[in-house]
């Protein structure tokens, strides 16, 4: 990840590599938590999602019109959707904020480098 970097559990260069690393990710349902997350001063949009089968809450740079992503990072592993809901409660209101990712970093306990 580039700007700014986050303390994350694991990273992959793109979604195909992320899916290849664990086949459950390709077939699992996902909970979409928005693709309009941004850091202050950046035009890059980021997508946040939770993979039901693996429990992974991940963030990736939404850099293609077809929905493709790069810079995939697992932020947390939460095995129940209610835990995801509690962790990012209020995300719908924050995902379009000019610095929504700073809010997400605070909510998830991530350290911004």
pLDDT digits (tens, 9 = 90+) for 35-53: 999 999 999 999 999 999 9
pLDDT of residue 109: 77
Count of domains forming the chain: 1
113 falls in which pLDDT band (50, 70, 90)?
A: very low
Which alpha helices (H) appear in the chain, and where do they start and end?
15-21, 24-27, 81-87, 91-94, 100-108
pLDDT of residue 102: 92
Positive or negative, the CA dihedral 27, 93, 10, 61 is: positive
Taking only the tens place, the pLDDT of each residue in 59-111 is 999 986 777 899 999 999 999 999 999 999 999 999 999 999 999 988 887 64
> d(Cα 31, Cα 82) in Å, to the nearest integer?
12
Structural domain range at position 76: 10-108
Per mean pLDDT, which range of 11-15, 53-57, 58-62, 108-112 is the poorest? 108-112
Residue 110 DSSP code: P
Per the domain annotation, does 52 fall within a domain? yes
pLDDT of residue 8: 81
Per the domain annotation, does 65 fall within a domain? yes
> d(Cα 68, Cα 85) in Å, to the nearest integer?
24
Per the domain annotation, does 2 fall within a domain? no
Length in residues, the chain: 113
């Amino acid at each position: 990840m580039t700007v700014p970097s986050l303390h994350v559990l694991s990273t992959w260069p793109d979604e195909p590599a992320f899916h290849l690393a664990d086949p459950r990710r390709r077939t699992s349902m996902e909970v979409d938590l928005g693709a309009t997350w941004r850091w202050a001063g950046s035009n890059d949009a980021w997508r946040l999602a939770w993979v039901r089968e693996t429990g992974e809450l991940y963030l990736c740079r939404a850099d293609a019109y077809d929905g493709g992503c790069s810079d995939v990072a697992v932020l947390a592993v939460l095995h129940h959707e209610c835990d995801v809901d509690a962790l990012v409660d209020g995300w719908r209101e924050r995902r379009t904020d000019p610095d929504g990712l700073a809010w997400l970093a605070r909510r998830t306990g991530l350290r911004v480098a």
